[in-house]
Amino acid sequence: AGGRIFAVGGAGPDSALNEEYDPGVATRFSSLAPNTSYLFKAQARNQAGVVSPESASISTYTWAALPAATSPAFTVVAIDSITFQWGANSNPGNTKYLARASTAASFGGGAAVLTTDWGAMTSTASLMLSANTTYFFSVKARNEVLIETAYVSLGSTSTLAAVPASAASTFSAVG
């Protein structure tokens, strides 16, 4: 007695068919690509070795991988904006990311939190920031069926100090 469970899909030469005989009632497939569609089917085999027809197909996406912190994380730092980046960490190009910036490392406590829209990007800029202020950054990913990863910290940096405005001279004469 036994059976066969197999997955079909993904990318690469080894992912077209991933099967296991006699898995019991469940199995875990390894080496599946993140945020990738896979089709699952099953068959049963009786004690005489007769195999049943394949079950109906069930498809789903694997979870997205956590985004990867990169170095340097901050590519442009200005008085009122910071451009930052992260790595896809084997996620395909259709993976969406949500990035955020805050003056609080915990992203809470009443501090302002600036977030991007979900998008298929691995860098973005936070605009309209306060000068000479430290900001903390993090990012998370989601797969095609909207399952989100945890946030990954990208570290912190400060915007540049504003250039002082020139003061009118209070000197009437020098000498």
pLDDT tens for each residue of 119-140: 999 999 999 999 999 999 999 9
Residue 45 burial class via C-beta count within 10 angstroms: exposed 0-12, middle 13-18, buried 19 and up: middle
Phi, psi of 5 (to 5 degrees): -120, 135
Question: For position 31, what pLDDT does the model report?
Answer: 83
Question: For position 124, what pLDDT does the model report?
Answer: 96
Phi, psi of 69 (to 5 degrees): -70, 140
In whole angstroms, how far apart are CA 105 and each of 82, 98, 137, 154? Answer: 16, 17, 8, 11
For the cut 70, the answer to whether the pLDDT of residue 41 exceeds it is yes
Band of pLDDT at residue 150, cut at 50, 70 and 90 = very high
Average pLDDT, the chain: 86
